[in-house]
Structure 1
Amino acid sequence: MRAAAVDVVAELVAERGLTAVTMSAIAERVGIGRATLYKHFPDVETVLSAWHEHHVEAHLQRLTQVRDRTTDPHRALVEVLTTYARSVRHQRGTDLGAALHDTEHVRQARRRLVDFLRQLLDEAGRRGDVRRDVPVDDLAGYCLHALNAAGGLPDDDGVHRLVAVVLAGLAPGPE
């Protein structure tokens, strides 16, 4: 029941918009009574948070699989950044994470993503593929902020151009 409620909340937001989603609508779509839903979730935001947590886990798992397909740190970085940007592009207009505003849950999810990127950037930096004059945490934040622009891109060609610009910003300068 919990999983079904989490699944349908994303559908309902996409169909109706965030403000039109109610506990009644979620319960009806799942096929349960409101009282049953309230036993598991106190409000819509809690259902949204559960959806976001599931989404973050799946996203990090996918990025880990992409990273692990190669032993070359630079190639792994390129593939992860491209996968992340594609994901942002495909989610445009439906990112429920934004609907949760600045909650601790969202901050924690962002920290996990920054940690993931920091490891990639650090390894690529040790090999000389990424600049070392900027703290790696700053570089990870730069990547996330820049790649979130992919939400406005019409196609994967735009994703590739955006990733190329981000990689140019990460490239080590002349010594």
Structure 2
Amino acid sequence: MPRLWNETIEAHRRDVREAILMHTSALVVEHGLRSVTMSQIAEKTGIGRATLYKYFPDVETILLAWHEQQIAVHLEELAEVREQAGEPVAGLRAMLEAYANISRQSRGHGDGALMAVLHRDDRVGHAERQIHRMVRDLLAEGARIGVFRDDVVPDELATYCLHAVTAARALPSEDAVRRLVMVIMSACT
């Protein structure tokens, strides 16, 4: 009986935490970072302020937890896309398209203040390094089998690819993203 009770309590805590993250991100997108208060979050989530403070000390901490969750989802998605593609050329194309679309979709996630808060955290840098390693490893594998250029170090070529793909933030459509990725891919072969 105690084990079932503990599992029920843990499930409830996870549900409350998820609701807090979801409602906070929605409030920030709707009103801007500086306009959202802990009282608004508690009300929107349907919990008391005291309960909210048991989970998080402030709005910024909630947003960082939400962002960390988003990063983990994106990294999983990129790894899955890479694995499903199989060989290096298809893997690189799929990863770059997925990453470009993630970048393109995230451009509307709030104001500049929100982006400054979320991107000063080292978790973003860690995620970027993981993505860089994934791309670099694909390029190295492709260079070994002769499908990618070998006159540029894979680490440098990965840096080029990832910087080039950031242009997707300004693109109007997924078709434009695919064209951008084709240009990037042509530099790799």
Q: Classify the TM-score, shorter chain.
A: 0.7 to 0.9
Structure 2 unpaired stretches of 5+? 1-15
* Corresponding residue for residue 37 of structure 1: 52
Change (3 A) 1:105 1:170: same
Q: 51, 64, 67: which is aligned to 1:49?
A: 64
Q: State whether structure 2 residue 90 is matched by structure 1 residue 75.
A: yes
TM-score, normalised on structure 1?
A: 0.86
Match of 2:107 in 1: 92
Relative to total residues, which structure has the larger helix share, 1 or 2? 2
How far did 1:65 drift?
1.8
Percent identical across equivalent pairs?
47
Instruction: Give the unaligned 5+ runs of structure 1.
Output: none
Please give the residue correspondences for 1:1-175 in structure 2 after superposition, counting only pairs within 5 Å. Answer: 1-94=16-109, 98-171=116-189
Partners in 2 of 1:14 and 1:126 — Cα distance?
45
Q: How does the TM-score come out when normalised to structure 2? A: 0.80
Does the Cα contact within 8 Å between 1:82 and 1:159 map onto a contact in 2? yes
Aligned length: 171
The CA deviation at 1:58 is 0.9
1:168–1:11 distance in 2 versus 1, CA, 3 Å: same
Q: 2:135 is matched by which residue type in structure 1?
A: L
State the 4+ residue runs in structure 1 displaced beyond 4 angstroms.
Answer: 95-98
Cα distance change, pair 161–40 in 1 and its aligned pair in 2 (3 A)? same
Q: Which has the larger radius of gyration?
A: 2
What secondary structure is seen at the aligned counterpart in 2 of 1:151? helix
Alpha-carbon separation, structure 1, partners of 2:156 and 2:21: 33
How far did 1:54 drift?
A: 0.9
